[in-house]
């Protein structure tokens, strides 16, 4: 299938709003815990089971959320025929096999980002969802932030006019998720910060720009700091992997869009820059501009809108409410399941193709064109 083609939706029968959906979660790392806690607090759904290899963490989570069934093997969890939906929050190399097994079992799936290591894996997951007539959704929680949602309304209201250029980033000085873990192994992770945190940047940037199609990419990647031992996160306990580092520690990509605009994306795990963690976006439009900066994962970033009033520069600082992150992601997933609509699997696969083109561009040192049916 062409994952860059317009979205295709598999329509399954709607589910009554009075039916309590039974949910499972595979994975008990940070992301898996977010999914589990969301299911446990949302109405109309029961967290019925948890699967994860880390037995002490799994047991503590199950006890805290009142979940009787918790197992080490995801296949054992899927044997519960009463399950309706499942979240897959495991290392990236396991996304495709576990998601496909869940879809073939008849479950609706919410998979953590990135959807997969490669476009071919992503396509196999989307195909499995279409064959099974089940929802495949992917968790992009950053677009659920209150500041991102507010900025989207600013763009939609026309306050910036035509947005023709954007710069978006997620940069860390020392943010490698444990040197030698599965995160730093290309075979298991699929890539470095561009695929790990840069995929969030791509998602919220294209969301803010109205989902234009990316036509070409020109990218560069670097591993000059991490291979010298610089950049390991101060607090990180990721496991697995082969003990090495064969991904990038910084990536930059210039994307041309089909509406004539351009987007610059930067992502780093290691860089000689200010300490801490920062992501954001700057938008340039014909009638105004905007800048959003989020430091150290603060709930609400600094959001400014720039305009011109009678020839005088004006700056307006907005104060959005905090978003609800994974709670909103899980709630939208359940709403999609109940409504009989398809999920965002195709869109997420499209992002995987963009990242793949960036990696190919960096390797070949030339611009890469993306095609669409």
pLDDT, tens digit, for every residue of 59-77? 999 999 999 999 999 999 9
Q: Cα(36)–Cα(326) distance, rounded to whole angstroms?
A: 10
Band the pLDDT of 240: cuts 50, 70, 90: confident
Say if residues 253 and 247 touch (Cβ distance below 8 Å).
no
Band the pLDDT of 4: cuts 50, 70, 90: very low
Say if residues 69 and 46 touch (Cβ distance below 8 Å).
no
Residue (of 45, 110, 54) closest to 82 by Cα position: 45
Residue (of 230, 239, 112, 252) closest to 175 by Cα position: 230
Band the pLDDT of 236: cuts 50, 70, 90: low
Describe the chain by its helix, strand, coil percentages, rounded to 5: 35, 25, 40
Q: Cα(157)–Cα(283) distance, rounded to whole angstroms?
A: 14
Residue 2 has pLDDT above 60, yes or no: no
Instruction: Name the CATH architecture for the domain at 146-322.
Output: 2-Layer Sandwich (3.30)
Residue (of 2, 63, 1, 3) closest to 28 by Cα position: 63
Beta carbons within 10 angstroms of residue 166's beta carbon: 23
Say if residues 74 and 86 touch (Cβ distance below 8 Å).
no
Residue (of 137, 231, 244, 230) closest to 186 by Cα position: 244
Say if residues 147 and 303 touch (Cβ distance below 8 Å).
yes
Once rounded to an integer, what is the mean pLDDT over residues 221-238? 86
Residue 142 has pLDDT above 90, yes or no: yes
Strands 214-222 and 368-369, sheet pairing: antiparallel
Q: CA–CA distance from 150 to each of 22, 202, 370 (Å)?
A: 33, 18, 30
Spatial strand order of the sheet with 214-222 comes to: 312-318, 302-309, 289-295, 277-285, 163-172, 262-268, 250-257, 214-222, 368-369
Q: Cα(143)–Cα(350) distance, rounded to whole angstroms?
A: 17
Quote the mean pLDDT of the chain.
93
User: Range(s) for CATH 3.40.50.720 in the chain?
Assistant: 21-140
Looking only at Cα atoms, what is the longest distance across the chain?
67
Beta carbons within 10 angstroms of residue 109's beta carbon: 30
Residue (of 313, 80, 242, 266) closest to 170 by Cα position: 266
Which residues have a Cβ under 8 Å from the Cβ of 63 and sit 6 or more positions away?
none
Strands 70-71 and 45-51, sheet pairing: parallel
Q: Cα(72)–Cα(341) distance, rounded to whole angstroms?
A: 32
Which residues have a Cβ under 8 Å from the Cβ of 178 and sit 6 or more positions away?
184, 232, 233, 236, 237, 238, 239
pTM given for the model: 0.93
Q: Cα(172)–Cα(164) distance, rounded to whole angstroms?
A: 27
Spatial strand order of the sheet with 70-71 comes to: 70-71, 45-51, 21-26, 85-88, 108-112, 136-139
The token pair at 117 is 């290591």
Residue 164 has pLDDT above 80, yes or no: yes
The token pair at 10 is 């598999």
Q: What is the pLDDT of residue 49?
A: 98
Once rounded to an integer, what is the mean pLDDT over residues 14-26? 87
Say if residues 347 and 199 touch (Cβ distance below 8 Å).
no
| Cis ω before 114 (30° cut-off from 0) | yes
User: Range(s) for CATH 3.30.360.10 in the chain?
Assistant: 146-322
Band the pLDDT of 237: cuts 50, 70, 90: low
The token pair at 50 is 């948890």
The token pair at 311 is 């020839």
Q: Cα(232)–Cα(202) distance, rounded to whole angstroms?
A: 24
Task: Please indicate whether residue 20 or residue 9 has the higher confidence score (pLDDT).
Answer: 20
* Domain 21-140 of CATH type 3.40.50.720: yes
């Amino acid at each position: 299938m062409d994952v860059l083609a317009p979205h295709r939706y598999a329509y399954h029968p709607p589910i009554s709003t009075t039916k309590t959906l039974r949910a499972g979660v595979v994975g008990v790392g940070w992301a898996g815990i977010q999914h589990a806690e969301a299911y446990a607090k949302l109405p109309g759904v029961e967290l019925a089971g948890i699967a994860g290899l880390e037995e002490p963490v799994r047991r503590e989570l199950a006890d805290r959320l009142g979940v009787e069934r918790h197992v080490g093997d995801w296949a054992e969890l899927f044997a519960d025929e009463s399950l309706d939906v499942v979240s897959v929050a495991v290392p990236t190399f396991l996304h495709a096999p576990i998601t496909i097994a869940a879809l073939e079992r008849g479950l609706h799936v919410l998979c953590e980002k990135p959807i997969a290591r490669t476009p071919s894996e992503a396509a196999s997951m989307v195909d499995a969802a279409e064959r099974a007539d089940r929802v495949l959704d992917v968790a992009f929680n950053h677009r659920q932030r209150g500041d991102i949602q507010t900025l989207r309304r600013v763009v939609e209201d026309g306050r910036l006019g035509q947005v023709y250029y954007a710069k978006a980033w997620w940069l860390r000085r020392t943010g490698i998720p444990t040197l030698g873990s599965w995160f730093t192994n290309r075979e298991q992770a699929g890539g470095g910060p561009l695929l790990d945190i840069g995929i969030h940047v791509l998602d919220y940037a294209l969301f803010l720009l109205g989902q234009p199609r990316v036509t070409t990419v020109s990218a560069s990647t670097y591993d000059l700091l991490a291979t010298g031992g610089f950049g390991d996160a101060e607090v990180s306990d990721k496991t697995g992997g082969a003990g090495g580092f064969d991904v990038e520690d910084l990536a930059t990509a210039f994307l041309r869009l089909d509406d004539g605009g351009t987007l610059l994306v930067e992502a780093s795990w290691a860089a000689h820059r200010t300490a801490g963690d920062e992501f954001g976006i700057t938008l340039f439009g014909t009638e105004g501009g905007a800048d959003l900066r989020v430091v150290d994962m603060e709930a609400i970033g600094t959001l400014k809108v720039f305009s011109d009033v009678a020839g005088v520069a004006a700056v307006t600082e907005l104060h959005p409410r905090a978003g609800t992150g994974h709670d909103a992601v899980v709630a939208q997933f359940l709403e999609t399941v109940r409504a009989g609509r398809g999920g965002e699997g195709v869109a997420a696969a499209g992002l995987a193709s963009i990242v793949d083109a960036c990696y190919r561009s960096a390797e070949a040192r030339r611009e890469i064109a993306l095609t669409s049916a």
